[in-house]
Chains A and B, each alone.
Chain A
Amino acid sequence: MSEQSKNSYVEQINKNTAKPDRDVMKVILFASAIIILSIILVGSFVYFFTEKEVVRKLKSKDLVYIAESIASKIDGRVERAKETSLLLARDPEIIQWVTGGDRADSPAGKHAIERITELSRKYDYNNSFVVSTVTNHYWAESGRIIDTMTPADPDDSWFFEVISSKRPVSVVIDYNAERKGTFVFVDALMGNIEHPLGVAGVGLSLDSLSKEFQRFKYGEDSDLWVIDGQGKIYLSDNVEQNGKNIRDFVPDSVKNQLLNNFNKNNNSAFDLDYKNSKGQLIDLISYPVKSAGWVLVLQIPRNDTVSFLETIKLNTLSATLIALISITFFFYFVSRYLANPYKRTLQMNQELESKVAERTRELHEKNQKLIDSIEYAVRIQEAVLPSKDKLSGLFKEHFILWKPKDLVGGDFYWVKRFKKDCLVVVGDCTGHGVPGALMTMLSISILNQIVDGHNKENPALLLKKLNNIIKQTLGQQNRQALTDDGLDIGICYFNGKNTITFAGAKCSLYTRKNDELKIVKGNRKSIGYVKTDANYAYTNNLIDIEENDVLYMTTDGYIDQGGGSNTYSFGKKRFIEVINGCYQKPLALQFDIFIDKLNKYMGDEIQRDDITVMAFKFL
């Protein structure tokens, strides 16, 4: 492997390892995104539900509770005034005194005046009074008559209205613009309701309540009002607002809703929320003040009531952030600790890969050396085999198909020319490849050594000698020999006229005459091999030849080559068919046919053995 290709190989490994790293990052990012999303969602849900719950509690509990307590205070105050008025109206001595013409100097008069004055003096009433229908005198808290009621005086109209109302107790509210205060007068009828003797009662200012209102103030921007069915403000935590109408402070739609509810059903709390002109969300709650037929209205910006929600929001946010940061750190460390062994594995893999690459390179080098060496051996083997020119000079026509399984092989052919006569040999040494090639060198060298002018006409003798020398050379005289090698071989001697002498060791000669094909079988004993006797006598066969007779010699490679559908061998039968099919053609053409038939039969099968086919004509 060249340096460059090695580098690119390593680069490729790096690329392969970088990719899974990116995948890990993707998974981590995806997981982080999901966790961040869930934390944010959880945070939002927690805040959302907390806020919802807080507002629900605010509306249904807290604000109602505030409104209820304030209303009950007012109720209590008015109820107490009612009781006081009734006590005054039902005092027998005062009744007696009024019946008697309310004379100040009578003993009853003293007691009555004392009772009237002590209410405002000793208790927290601004006014206390008794008005008689007998004399129409208005006895005030000062213990004097300050007015005499006449139906003509509009200021006195309240008196005649109360008298004719037939209600034991009436509560009349009077807003005094000059004193910027609301006064509540509780009027109780004296005596028979149908024909009242007079009206006794107390008056009280709600200013003190107004101070208490400020105690209930929930936030800076809240408003607390007591209004009547028309929306008139009798009482406010802000003294300035007393006497005004709530439409000055709330949108008309809100006012209408409020008053509609008030006029329809004033027995329970009612709440709504709206956005004011500044865009603030305002919660408004009304609660009836039953004793006086009023309604208490409390309105407060949502921000003020749930301002602690801001803290919760902040806390949730910081908790979310802390969770996020912790998880980020956690993930960072986990991914590092998880990814590390993974990275190490990748690194190890990379190291191994480069080791493999190194080994492959070494192997490749070694293999190259071997191939170089064998390629050189090819040159030697080819040099030992007869040259084309030598063959052409020998035969009238010939072809030689020599196709080792590997670069070099165990098949060989050999010729020797004398005068007009010559020897032609085809041999197949055991094995193929380098060991086969070594055997061919040995065989050829022995042939060169043993063939001389005396024995050339006797191929059988040549085989016998060859056998003997091979066995000696390889030390195969006995059965315990180290090797058991040898060769199959056929030797033709052409006498230069018209006769062939053939002897074969497991090798046949095919002679194709014009009218028939003859197979001249050699002996069945190979040359060499432990099993062949050192003095085995081979047989000569004499064959007459005529013009255009073609002689074929082959090693088993061609006939044994596997192929077809069952990988069976090509076979002798097919070989004969090939000969019969083309023997009349020029041998150069026959060469192509032999190759073509073989290739077609073997298809993709590997070559099993070295292949040699030699065909020649002498005449």
Chain B
Amino acid sequence: MEKLIIEKTKSSPYIFFNPEERLLKIYGESFPENAAKFYAPVLDWVKDYLEQLDGQEVNVEMEIIYFNSSTSKVFMNFFQMLDDAAAEGNKITINWRCHEENEAAIECGEEFMEDLENVPFNIMVFKGE
């Protein structure tokens, strides 16, 4: 599969999905005018990617400073897809990175975690820069 790379903008995050490393990274802020539209190709890619997985390990790394409620719905869908894939036996791990001062991000992470059943969701709080 091809890599998926989308550069960050003021209102959308940096997306770096690399099948070779089995690493999906989303970094930055996310409040696009139309989150569903922005993430549609991303979710399509993820869908295709998860379908061809065969029990491999996949790391999902996310460090989102802020996201709006419509992004939150998209993320929920994204995590649900990962959760389903994990239920099928793929070793997927989600690392939700957030700065200790960014309590909103921590809280959101906690809320996401509650809804997921199969995929390990780690909230990784870091300090400093």
Contact = CB atoms under 8 A, between A and B. Distances in A.
A573 B101 CA distance: 10
A403 B88 CA distance: 46
Given A562-B29, A609-B31, A568 B102 contact: yes
Interface string A545-573: 00000000000100110100011111111
A431 B68 CA distance: 8
B116 interface: no
B26 interface: no
Interface of A is mostly: loop
Contacts of A556: 69
Which of B68, B102, B104 lies at the interface centre, i.e. has the most chain A CB atoms within 10 A of its CB? B104
A608 B65 contact: no
A484 B105 CA distance: 23
Interface residues of A, number: 25
B70 A431 contact: yes
A571 B99 contact: no
Interface string A84-105: 0000000000000000000000
A225 interface: no
B70 to A, nearest CB: 5
B111 interface: yes
A428 B72 CA distance: 14
B76 interface: yes
Contacts of B29: 562, 567
Contacts of B70: 430-431
Given A608-B68, A609-B31, A566 B102 contact: yes
Nearest to B104: A569
A214 B40 CA distance: 117
Contacts of A570: 104
Interface string B2-40: 000000001000000000000000000101011010000
Contacts of A572: 103-104, 107
A531 B111 CA distance: 15
Contacts of B101: 566, 568
Contacts of B10: 606
A560 B102 contact: no
Interface string B97-118: 0010111110100010010000
Contacts of B34: 431
Contacts of B45: none
A433 B111 contact: no
A488 interface: yes
A560 B103 contact: no
Contacts of B102: 566, 568-569, 571
Given A568-B99, A568-B102, A430 B69 contact: yes
A562 B66 contact: yes
B73 interface: yes
A86 B101 CA distance: 140
Contacts of A560: 66, 68, 104
Contacts of A433: 33
A57 interface: no
A121 interface: no
A574 to B, nearest CB: 9
Nearest to B67: A560
B66 A559 contact: no
Contacts of B36: 484
A61 interface: no
B102 to A, nearest CB: 4
A571 B103 contact: yes
A617 to B, nearest CB: 28
Contacts of A566: 65, 99, 101-102
Contact of A569 (B66, B69, B76): B66
A431 to B, nearest CB: 6
Interface string B59-95: 0000001101110010010000000000000000000
A304 B33 CA distance: 99
A9 B105 CA distance: 49
A568 B69 contact: no
Nearest to A556: B69
Interface in A563-619: 566-573, 606, 608-609
Nearest to A524: B111
Contacts of B114: 524
A475 to B, nearest CB: 16
B104 A559 contact: yes
Contacts of B105: 568-569
Contacts of B76: 531
Contacts of A488: 69
Given A430-B70, A562-B65, A608 B31 contact: yes
Nearest to A609: B68
A483 B46 CA distance: 21
A431 B34 CA distance: 8
A47 interface: no
A529 interface: yes
B107 to A, nearest CB: 7
A565 B102 CA distance: 12
Nearest to A428: B69
B76 to A, nearest CB: 7
Contacts of A562: 29, 65-66
Contacts of A608: 31, 66, 68
Which of B76, B103, B107 lies at the interface centre, i.e. has the most chain A CB atoms within 10 A of its CB? B103
Which of A433, A559, A568 lies at the interface centre, i.e. has the most chain B CB atoms within 10 A of its CB? A568
Nearest to B76: A531
A505 to B, nearest CB: 12
Contacts of A567: 29, 65-66
A427 to B, nearest CB: 12
Contacts of A571: 102-104
The 8 closest A-B pairs by CB, nearest first: A569-B104, A568-B102, A571-B103, A571-B104, A562-B66, A569-B66, A608-B31, A430-B70
28 contacts: A430-B73, A431-B70, A526-B69, A529-B73, A531-B73, A531-B76, A556-B69, A560-B66, A560-B68, A562-B29, A562-B65, A566-B65, A566-B99, A566-B102, A567-B65, A568-B65, A568-B101, A568-B104, A568-B105, A569-B65, A569-B103, A569-B105, A571-B104, A572-B107, A573-B103, A608-B66, A608-B68, A609-B68
Interface of A: 428, 430-431, 433, 484, 488, 524, 526, 529, 531, 556, 559-560, 562, 566-573, 606, 608-609
Interface of B: 10, 29, 31, 33-34, 36, 65-66, 68-70, 73, 76, 99, 101-105, 107, 111, 114
Given A572-B104, A608-B31, A609-B68, 16 more contacts: A430-B70, A431-B70, A484-B36, A484-B73, A488-B69, A560-B68, A566-B65, A566-B99, A567-B66, A568-B65, A568-B105, A570-B104, A571-B102, A572-B103, A573-B103, A608-B66
